[in-house]
């Protein structure tokens, strides 16, 4: 994208790769290499923020805003930034902790207001933006962008007859289009598993994973299956008025943390036909361990096996 300079992306990937090297060294027990690459990563991050991170006072909001600077398009371009410029450092949490939320606020504004719930990203930004929106609490925004049917977007491709992903957002025929069957924007598939299916790895080799699906208001069911080194993980959920059901398969020698969304003020959750919890009152079981209520989710720990959770609730 025209607003994201090459030196921005290149420096970000430099930090990204050195950070990975430091973690590899740590896993291998090479402490000296770990310290060396960690110090180099910290130095790159410091230089990156000094070069690109900007603060600006906005009169309408009567507060400072923080954003990562891209290329100015004109002399009066007062906030030269882009979705990619803010997505990349947010993904690696490069901004200081106390301003991460403000940088994310700029990204949300760029998506919602300045681009009317569309992307302005290329191959690099698209790879990370849906993860960032979801990680920082806006999977609903990611979903709205993904399901838009106007240009540019995935829905637009489908509307124009695509049966495979294009290499470009535009619909072009002949030599103008590099490829009508290209993995360039294929990272969207990962979001289906991680957000709609809710499957996220928590431990090395899938020894432990989380199931925390995002349930859009206009979606009735989701089914995902994932082959891992431990075996197949499967998650399926369906939602009707007053009723939510989620079935999970946890492979052998694996444990899972399962988040059941709470949809109403009154609710009752069963597993395998046996009551687990009703309005916060917990039934103790050895095979399904209640952990906590967190952000309108009931959280349970389980071991290997098949689990069938059913929630009955009174709609708010």
Q: Identify whether the C-beta of residue 162 lies closer than 8 Å to the C-beta of residue 149.
A: no
Q: Identify whether the C-beta of residue 231 lies closer than 8 Å to the C-beta of residue 254.
A: yes
| 48-60 residues labelled b (16+ CB within 10 A) or e (exposed) | beeebbeeeeeee
3-class secondary structure per residue, 110-129 = HHHHHCCCCCCCCHHHHHHH
3-class secondary structure per residue, 167-204 = CCCCCCCHHHCCCCCCCCCCCHHHHHHHHHCCEEECCH
pLDDT greater than 90 at residue 115 = yes
* pLDDT of 118: 97
Q: Which of 58-72, 84-98, 278-292 is predicted most confidently?
A: 84-98
Distance of CA 219 to the CA centre of its chain: 18
Q: Structure tokens of 85?
A: 């410029």
pLDDT greater than 80 at residue 61 = no
Residue positions counted in the chain:
316
Measured distance CA(101)–CA(105) in Å, rounded: 6
Give the DSSP H or E segment for 288: strand 288-293
* pLDDT of 81: 94
Q: Structure tokens of 37?
A: 């690459």
Handedness of CA 66, 67, 72, 78 (dihedral sign): negative
- CA gyration radius for the chain? 22
| Farthest CA pair distance, the chain | 66
* pLDDT of 1: 60
* pLDDT of 58: 75
- pTM of the prediction? 0.93
pLDDT greater than 80 at residue 174 = no
Q: Domains in the chain, start-ordered, CATH in brackets?
A: 6-189 (1.50.10.10), 200-315 (2.60.420.10)
* pLDDT of 49: 98
Q: Give me the helix-helix angle, 123-135 and 100-109, nearest 10°.
A: 120
* pLDDT of 284: 87
Average pLDDT for the chain: 94
Give the pLDDT band (50/70/90) at residue 78.
Answer: confident
């Amino acid at each position: 994208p025209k607003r994201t300079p090459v030196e921005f992306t290149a420096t970000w990937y430099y930090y990204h790769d050195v950070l990975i090297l430091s973690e590899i060294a740590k896993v291998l027990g090479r402490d000296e290499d770990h310290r060396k690459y960690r110090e180099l990563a910290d130095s790159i991050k410091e230089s990156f923020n000094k070069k690109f991170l900007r603060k600006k006072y906005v009169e309408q909001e009567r507060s400072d805003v923080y954003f990562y600077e891209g290329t100015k398009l004109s002399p009066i371009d007062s906030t030269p930034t882009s979705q990619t410029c803010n997505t990349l450092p947010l993904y690696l949490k490069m901004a200081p902790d106390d301003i991460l939320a403000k940088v994310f606020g700029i990204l949300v504004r760029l998506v919602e207001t300045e681009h009317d719930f569309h992307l302005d990203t290329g191959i690099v930004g698209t790879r990370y933006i849906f993860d960032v929106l979801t990680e920082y609490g806006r999977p609903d925004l990611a979903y709205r962008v993904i399901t838009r049917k106007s240009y540019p977007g995935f829905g637009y491709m489908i509307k124009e007859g695509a049966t495979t992903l294009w290499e470009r957002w535009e619909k072009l025929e002949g030599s103008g289009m590099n490829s009508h069957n290209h993995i360039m924007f294929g990272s969207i598939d990962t979001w289906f598993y991680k957000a709609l299916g809710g499957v996220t790895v928590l431990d090395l080799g899938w020894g432990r994973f989380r199931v925390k699906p995002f349930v859009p208001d206009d979606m009735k069911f989701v089914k995902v299956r994932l082959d891992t080194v431990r075996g197949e993980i499967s998650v399926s959920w369906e939602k009707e008025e007053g009723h939510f059901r989620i079935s999970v398969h946890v492979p052998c020698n694996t444990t899972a943390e399962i988040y059941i969304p709470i949809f109403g003020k009154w609710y009752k959750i069963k597993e395998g036909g046996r009551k687990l919890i009703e309005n916060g009152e917990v039934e103790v079981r050895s095979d399904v361990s209640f952990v906590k209520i967190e952000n309108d989710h009931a959280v349970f720990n389980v071991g290997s096996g098949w689990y069938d959770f059913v929630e009955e609730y009174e709609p708010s």
